[in-house]
Structure formats: C-alpha cells, structure tokens
Amino acid sequence: MRQQSKEEIIIIGAGPCGLSSALELQSIGVNPLMIEKRNVVHSISQYPVYMQFFSTPELLEIGGVPFTTAHDKPSRLEALNYYRSIALRREVRINPYETVIDIIKSDNGFQLVSEDRFGEQLQYSANYVVIATGYFDHPNLLGIPGEDSDKVSHFFREAHPYTGMEVVIIGGSNSAIDAALELERVGAKVTIVYRGAEYSPSIKPWVRPIIESLVAKGRIAIRFQSRVIRIDPRTVTVEHNSGTEMISNDFVLALTGFHPDREFLTRIGVTIEPEGYPYFNEETMETNVPGIYLSGVVASKREANEIFIETGRFHGRKIAQHLQSKIH
C-alpha cells in the first residue's frame, strides 16, 4: 500500500454537490482533495444524451459562477461543460478513477484507503472527510428472475439502438416517460409497466398530455397496477389484477430509480436511523462520527430523488461554516 498525502479535508465524490462543497471550502482558505471513482460529475454523464434539465440554470449554479444558456432549461451537454469548466478554472484537486474502499478513525483524524484503476491500494490521512457519493452505481433492483440478463438495463442513454425493437419500460416516473417518448419517435414498440393505478403526479405537466395522447392512439402501450415478475430471452411476464400476461420482448429498461450506498456508511460507523437513512445534523451536515460530513444525495432521508443539485449544492456551505471555526 502506497502512502499518499496528508490532507486537511478529503471529499469523496466529484459530482455537482461534491464540487460545490470544494468551492465553499476554498472560500474559507482550504483546498480539499477530491477522490472520484469515475470522472468529474459522472452522474450527469450517465443521463440520457439529449436530456434537458427540469431546473432553470440559476438553480444549478455552484460557487457563485453564473450558468449561462440560450435556453430556458439547460441541456446535459451544457451542464457537463459548466461543471467541468468550474473544476478546471478553480483548479479543484481531483483524483479521478480512484475508489475509496475504507475510512478508519485514528487518533488525529482519519486514514482513507483507496484503490486506483490499476488495482493499486493507496492510503491518505485527513483531519476531516466529506462524503458526497451519488447513487448511480446502486439501482433499485426488482429481485426477479432474468433481471441480470444482458437485455436489461437500468440506464437509458439514447433511443437509436432500440429502433424497431420491442421494449418494455419498468417504471412510471419522468425518466420512464421521457424514455418512452424518445423510443416511440425512433420506431420502437414500447410497453410501459407501472405499479401505480394512474399516471404519476410527478410527470412534467407539459409532457403528460403527450404521453396520454400516444397511449390513446395505441402508439405506446401502458399497463397500470402491474409488475414484471419474470424476464426471459424473448418475453417478459407481467402480473396484474386480471392475472398474468406474457409480452414479446427484445429489451427491458428497468427505470426504477437508485439509492445511496448505505452499506459503506454503516461500515465506517455512521448510524443508520430506523427509517433507513443516515444520521446527520441538518445544520452542519456532520454525522454521528465527528469529522465525517455528508453532502448531496447521500444525505437523502427517504428517496434519493428528494435531493437534487438545486438543494444539495447548499450542503457544502453548511459544512464550510461549521469547519471554519475548527480549522482557523
């Protein structure tokens, strides 16, 4: 194991909320090291290629840097450029493609063990740690036969590869509906399987009439109060009130959401409340382990999507304010 630097603060995760935390800490005179298991703002790079944000650009801004766009809502590409440019121009210290695998409490702070993309283990020491890990590596699994087959994906990137294919989409959120609309436009035969009795109230108001019209015209099929119970090479079995149905199928998009890595938090000593979310002080973002803080979706209490960039970006400010008196 190779010994690395001694740091004041290490931030685990270089997503928008982690970057925001780094900028807030820079503003109080600390230059933290960020360790990111993939690339900067990896979560956004996983979004559908042509996605536009629901939020307006000013709600995605971090570090007081204006987010300019010619459109009402910024695109995925614009967001990638915005956050990447901030990281470069503010000279944020980021170790990409390196995974933190353990945090050990020591007499004078913490020892962090990581693994780089070549499999070499590295060790750092830090006085404080900010955990800003996202959730895209942890999809909500269905626990059904066939879920691990190659035809199943928990991500939707773009519609083109599904042209002319029979696709089942599991879920009824915005991501599922948006995927269904894009797939229909490229000639895929789409069936949405959703456990709800009607359309989700979270669907964007300007999108709902479009999906309702396409379903009414028979261009997209939807099964309400239904769930997929089995995935086979050429079919999907769906269970609903009137029994079971076998649907001819080429691909499955299981867009059932994601969750933060609670197991890692438990392993390093962070208390998980009976309701299933990690304990932290809402004023400071500090956990029950003194010196370990949470930022972003890892601090979500019930659903990962309750914390967005527009709210999680303020976690870093709370952390910086709390640490300012301790460091200086």
Write down all domains in the chain, each with its CATH number in brackets.
2-138+258-327 (3.50.50.60), 152-254 (3.50.50.60)
pLDDT tens across 244-264, in order?
999 999 999 999 887 777 788
Tell me which of 67-71, 92-96, 141-145, 324-328 is least confident. 324-328
pLDDT (mean) for 158-163: 96
Starting at the edge strand that comes first in sequence, how are the strands of the sheet with 152-153 ordered?
A: 152-153, 251-254, 166-170, 189-193, 220-223
Which are the contacts of 189, defined by CB distance < 8 A and separation ≥ 6? 165, 166, 167
> Is residue 256 within 8 Å of 173, Cβ to Cβ?
no
What's the full length of the chain, in residues? 328
pLDDT: which is higher, 300 or 228: 228
Higher pLDDT, residue 178 or 108: 178
pLDDT at position 5: 76
Three-class DSSP category at 98: strand
Give the CA-trace dihedral at 163, 305, 91, 109, to 10 degrees.
-130
Q: Which of 291, 293, 287 is nearest to 315 (CA)?
A: 293
Tell me the C-alpha distance between 277 and 293, whole Å. 14
Picking from 236, 142, 138, 223, the residue whose alpha carbon sits closest to that of residue 180 is 223
Q: What is the pLDDT of residue 328?
A: 61
Specify whether the CB–CB gap between 86 and 23 falls below 8 A: yes
Tell me the C-alpha to C-alpha distance, in Å, between residue 226 and each of 66, 191, 194, 197.
Answer: 44, 12, 6, 9
pLDDT at 18: 95
Q: Give the whole-number percent of the chain exceeding pLDDT 70.
A: 97
Residue 321: what pLDDT?
94
Q: Amino acid letter at 99?
A: T
Q: What is the dihedral of CA 267, 271, 273, 276, to 10 degrees?
A: -20
260 near 294, Cβ under 8 Å?
no
pLDDT of residue 33 exceeding 70: yes
pTM, to two decimals: 0.85
* Whether residue 139 has pLDDT greater than 90: no
Do 124 and 93 contact (CB within 8 A), yes or no? no
Residue-averaged pLDDT of the chain: 91
pLDDT at 311: 74
C-alpha span between 225 and 116 (Å, rounded): 45
With a pLDDT cut of 90, the percent of the chain lying above it is 70
pLDDT digits (tens, 9 = 90+) for 306-321: 446 777 788 999 999 9
Q: Is 216 exposed, middle or buried (0-12, 13-18, 19+ CB in 10 A)?
A: exposed
Q: Which amino acid is at 15?
A: G
Greater model confidence, 105 or 138: 105
Mean pLDDT for the stretch of residues 259-280: 84
Q: How many CA atoms lie within 13 A of 328 on its CB side?
A: 11
Position 26 pLDDT exceeds 70: yes
Question: CA 147, CA 304: separation in Å to the nearest integer?
Answer: 22
10 — pLDDT class (breaks 50, 70, 90): very high
Q: How far apart are the C-alpha atoms of 49 and 29, rounded to whole Å?
A: 37
Q: Is the dihedral of CA 255, 156, 176, 295 positive or negative?
A: positive
